[in-house]
C-alpha cells in the first residue's frame, strides 16, 4: 500500500512521518519472513544474553578476551533491538508508519551500536595481538583499566558518530515521497528522500564509513599480520595451533560483520539497489547477530563450559 505524504503534512512543510515499504504484496510470504526473522531474533537475544551472563557470573572468564566478548554480546543485543521489533511489526501489520523523531531515534541507536562494534572488534584484535606477541607482558599491559578504557572509547565513538550523523541528516527537509524503501531508518534510504542537493551529506556518510569501518579494519589486519608472523616462528606445532585457534572465532565474526557492512556502505552509489541493500541489511542485522554466539560457544571450550554451568545453575534454581 503506497502512503501519501498528504496524510501527515501540508505541502509547505517537511515530512513529519515516514512509512516503511512492504516486503511483499503476498501475505503468505510476509508471514513466512516474519516467522524466520522472529526465530533468528529470539535466538540472537538468547545466545548473546547467555554469553554475557555466563561471562559475568563465572570468575574463570574474568579476563580481557571475555570482557570484550561480553561487551560485544551487549552491543549485538542493542543492535538487533533497535531494528528488528519495528521490522516484525511492518511485516504483519498495515501500521508501517514511523514519526520523524522515531526514525531519528532508530538511526541514532543503530549507528551507535554498529560503529561501537567496529571499534570493539579492533580492540579485540589488539587483545589477541598482545596475548600472542607479548605473552610475558600480557597480564600487566592488558590491565582491567586499559580494557575498560578501550570499551568506553568504543561506545563513546559510536555515540558521537551516531549523534553527529543523525543530527546532520535530520536537519534536512524531506519533501516526499515519505515511503522508505527499506525496513529500518538506515542512512542511504533516508537520504534518498531528502529535498535538494544531498551530496555533502552523502560525502559525510562515506567519510564516516571510511574512518569508522576501514580504519578499525586496517588495525585488525595489522594486528593479525603481526600475529601470523609470530605464529610462523613458533617452534611447537601445538603452540601454533593453540594460537591460531584462539583467533579463529574473532576472525570469522570480523569477516561476517565487516564483509556485509563494507559492501553496503563503501560501494559506489550507482551500484546500490533497494533489493540488494535490504538483503545485506537483513544479513548484518539479524544473521550475524545470531551466528556470533554460536561461533564463540562452538569454537571456545571455556565459553561452552561456562554456558553449560550457567544453564545448569538456572535449571537447579527452577527445580
Give the whole-number percent of the chain exceeding pLDDT 90: 29
Element (H, E) at 97: strand 97-99
pLDDT of residue 128: 92
Strand partners, 98: 18
- How many CB atoms sit inside 10 A of residue 106's CB? 19
Most confidently predicted of 150-154, 239-243, 247-251 = 150-154
Which is more confident, 169 or 6? 169
What is the arithmetic mean of pLDDT over 31-36? 90
What is the arithmetic mean of pLDDT over 297-319? 66
Q: How confident is the model at residue 9 (pLDDT cuts 50, 70, 90)?
A: very low
The answer to whether residue 268 scores a pLDDT higher than 70 is no
Q: What pLDDT digit, counting tens, does each position of 38-71 carry?
A: 999 999 999 899 888 888 888 888 889 889 999 9
Q: How confident is the model at residue 277 (pLDDT cuts 50, 70, 90)?
A: confident
Phi-psi region of 37 (alpha: psi -120 to 50; beta: other; left: phi over 0): alpha
Length of the chain equals 319
Q: Which residue reads 599491559 in cell numbers? A: 141
Q: Which residue reads 526465530 in cell numbers? A: 39
Q: What pLDDT digit, counting tens, does each position of 93-112 carry?
A: 877 788 889 999 999 999 99
Note the pTM of the prediction, 2 decimals.
Answer: 0.85
The answer to whether residue 205 scores a pLDDT higher than 60 is yes
Domain 27-302 has CATH 1.20.1070.10: yes
- Residue 296 contacts residue 71 (beta carbons within 8 Å): no
Q: Where are the domains of the chain?
A: 27-302
- How far is the C-alpha of 179 from the C-alpha of 3, rounded, in Å? 7
Which is more confident, 284 or 88? 88
pLDDT of residue 299: 62
Spatial CA neighbour of 130 closest among 62, 249, 219, 60:
219
Distances (CA, A) of 319 to 1, 46, 309, 312, 314: 50, 21, 15, 10, 8
Which is more confident, 258 or 311? 258
pLDDT of residue 240: 81
Using CA atoms in the order 85, 291, 68, 141, what is the torsion angle rounded to 10 degrees? -160
Q: Give Cα 10 to chain centroid, integer Å.
A: 37
Cell, residue 65: 578476551
Provide the H-helix boundaries in the chain. 27-57, 64-81, 84-92, 100-133, 138-141, 144-169, 187-191, 199-209, 215-232, 237-265, 274-282, 288-299, 301-318
- How far is the C-alpha of 232 from the C-alpha of 237, rounded, in Å? 10
Amino acid at each position: 500500500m503506497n502512503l501519501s505524504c498528504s496524510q501527515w503534512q501540508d505541502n509547505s512543510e517537511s515530512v513529519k512521518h515516514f512509512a516503511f515499504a512492504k516486503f511483499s504484496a503476498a501475505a503468505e510470504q510476509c508471514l513466512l519472513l516474519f516467522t524466520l526473522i522472529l526465530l533468528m531474533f529470539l535466538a540472537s537475544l538468547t545466545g548473546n544474553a547467555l554469553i554475557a551472563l555466563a561471562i559475568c557470573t563465572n570468575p574463570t572468564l574474568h579476563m580481557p578476551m571475555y570482557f570484550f566478548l561480553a561487551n560485544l554480546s551487549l552491543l549485538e543485543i542493542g543492535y538487533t533491538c533497535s531494528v528488528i521489533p519495528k521490522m516484525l511489526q511492518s511485516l504483519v501489520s498495515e501500521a508501517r508508519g514511523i514519526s520523524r523523531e522515531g526514525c531519528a531515534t532508530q538511526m541514532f541507536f543503530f549507528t551507535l551500536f554498529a560503529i561501537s562494534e567496529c571499534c570493539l572488534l579492533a580492540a579485540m584484535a589488539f587483545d589477541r595481538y598482545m596475548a600472542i606477541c607479548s605473552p610475558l607482558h600480557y597480564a600487566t599491559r592488558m590491565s582491567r583499566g586499559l580494557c575498560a578504557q578501550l570499551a568506553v572509547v568504543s561506545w563513546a565513538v559510536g555515540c558521537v558518530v551516531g549523534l553527529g550523523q543523525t543530527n546532520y541528516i535530520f536537519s534536512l527537509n524531506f519533501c516526499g515521497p515519505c515511503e522508505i524503501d527499506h525496513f529500518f531508518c538506515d542512512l542511504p534510504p533516508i537520504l534518498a528522500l531528502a529535498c535538494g542537493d544531498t551530496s555533502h551529506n552523502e560525502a559525510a556518510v562515506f567519510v564516516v564509513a571510511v574512518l569508522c569501518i576501514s580504519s578499525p579494519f586496517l588495525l585488525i589486519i595489522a594486528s593479525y599480520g603481526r600475529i601470523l608472523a609470530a605464529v610462523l616462528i613458533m617452534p611447537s606445532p601445538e603452540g601454533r595451533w593453540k594460537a591460531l585457534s584462539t583467533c579463529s572465532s574473532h576472525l570469522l565474526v570480523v569477516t561476517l560483520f565487516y564483509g556485509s557492512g563494507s559492501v553496503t556502505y563503501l560501494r559506489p552509489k550507482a551500484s546500490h539497489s533497494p533489493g540488494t541493500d535490504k538483503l545485506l541489511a537483513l544479513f548484518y542485522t539479524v544473521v550475524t547477530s545470531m551466528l556470533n554466539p554460536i561461533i564463540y560457544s562452538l569454537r571456545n571450550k571455556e565459553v561452552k563450559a561456562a554456558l553449560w554451568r550457567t544453564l545448569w545453575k538456572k535449571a537447579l534454581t527452577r527445580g
